[in-house]
Amino acid sequence: MVATTTTTTKISVQAPIELNYGRASELRAFDETKTGVKGLVDAGVAQIPRIFIHPPDNFDNPQNPTNTQFSFPIIDLAGIDTDPIRRKETVGEVLNASENWGFFQVINHGIPESVLEEMVDGARRFYEQDTEVKKLWYTRDSSRAFVYNSNFDLFRAPAANWRDTVFCTIAPKSPNPEELPETCRYASI
């Protein structure tokens, strides 16, 4: 069996799907590079590695319905600091969105657009820096203030996702600046 896909960079890729291969060792090898998906792209990968290809039974029985038009919850924070009734309603909306969706979009939060843009620029600077510097931050230890890795569920999911992730824990205790990469240190706290 052969899976065919086209990436957003318009590279057509074909990879054979083998059910019995050394998946665990390939996952470990990928993780041990500490370069993530961007490392594969930077190395000029010509074929999607098997760890990213879903097993064939996932093709025949998709988990997602064909209708992919979603209406994500949007939480409006306007007035929650001055109107106790609005605050209580908003808390209920957050609870509902968290329980039923697991995420939501927040508007009227008061964070200036320039701060949000600097956070995006900081993330971009992190990903575009020298690979050897990024490797210093690659970890699966989620207790660290700053975590960079590829696929938080890499060793549990049936197929890896074509993504790398960074996250920063800033509450309940803000990290020391030294616990964050220099490229995004002040955009994060």
The answer as to whether 60 is a domain residue is no
Same domain for 90 and 155, yes or no, is: no
Same domain for 34 and 123, yes or no, is: yes
Output the pLDDT for position 11: 43
The answer as to whether 58 is a domain residue is no
Which residue has better confidence, 126 or 171? 126
The answer as to whether 85 is a domain residue is yes
Does the pLDDT of residue 8 top 50, yes or no? Answer: no
Which pLDDT band holds residue 3 (cuts at 50, 70, 90)?
A: very low
The answer as to whether 18 is a domain residue is no
Same domain for 92 and 140, yes or no, is: no
Average pLDDT of the chain is 85
Residue whose structure tokens are 């210093």: 136
Same domain for 135 and 178, yes or no, is: yes
Output the pLDDT for position 71: 82
Does the pLDDT of residue 95 top 70, yes or no? Answer: yes
pLDDT digit string (tens) for 11-53?
434 455 555 679 999 999 999 999 999 999 999 999 999 999 9
| Boundaries of domain holding 75 | 70-110
Same domain for 86 and 144, yes or no, is: no
d(CA 186, CA 99) in angstroms, rounded, equals 32
Same domain for 85 and 165, yes or no, is: no
Output the pLDDT for position 126: 94
Same domain for 130 and 168, yes or no, is: yes
Output the pLDDT for position 185: 85
pLDDT digit string (tens) for 73-92?
999 999 999 999 999 999 99
Q: Is 30 exposed, middle or buried (CB count within 10 Å of its CB: 0-12, 13-18, 19+)?
A: buried
pLDDT digit string (tens) for 134-147?
999 999 999 999 99
Number of domains in the chain: 2
Task: Check if the beta carbon of residue 164 is closer than 8 Å to that of residue 146.
Answer: no
The answer as to whether 11 is a domain residue is no
Output the pLDDT for position 107: 96
d(CA 36, CA 137) in angstroms, rounded, equals 12
The answer as to whether 184 is a domain residue is yes
pLDDT digit string (tens) for 145-188?
999 999 999 999 999 999 999 998 888 888 999 999 999 887 75
Residue whose structure tokens are 């001055």: 82
